[in-house]
Structure 1
């Protein structure tokens, strides 16, 4: 029975990673996402730890270049977006971050 519980724990940690189409390696000076930019409840961009705001496409490209840490790239309905890398913590998931409106740079 213990083996089944171990397998379930392994599957629950692997499945979120399988949803990612790309897991870029972060550069040493990579920024973190500190807030989600939302318009009408929909994520349209990301606010970074240095204050810059990127639209969704720019955020995906920056992550692919290693400029944003702690995220992977996922695809839904043909559109790429960023998703937190699973690390067993809920407080640093993108869905747990505060929201800001508009894409005006700080």
Structure 2
């Protein structure tokens, strides 16, 4: 029985692509920011946000890879071993 709260690998990749698009928009907006003090504060915000989004994108892609590996393990094992592993990780994560 699969845990329905886990996103599919294709959905994770799609979310990562959306994040990449937002980072691209931020980078294009950086060019348009005026050189005033207020503009420089906005630039710092955009750069910080872009870094955070790139970290999020990396985590989404890692999660997609892990999901694919678990699906492969389920296929090879002929059981739902990946589900058991996901549940254990979720249980450990909620305790920390």
Q: Normalising by structure 2, report the TM-score.
A: 0.27
Q: Which is richer in strand?
A: 1
Q: Normalising by structure 1, report the TM-score.
A: 0.25
Higher RCO, 1 or 2 (CA under 8 Å, sep at least 6)? Answer: 2
Q: Which is richer in helix?
A: 2
Higher-Rg structure is 2
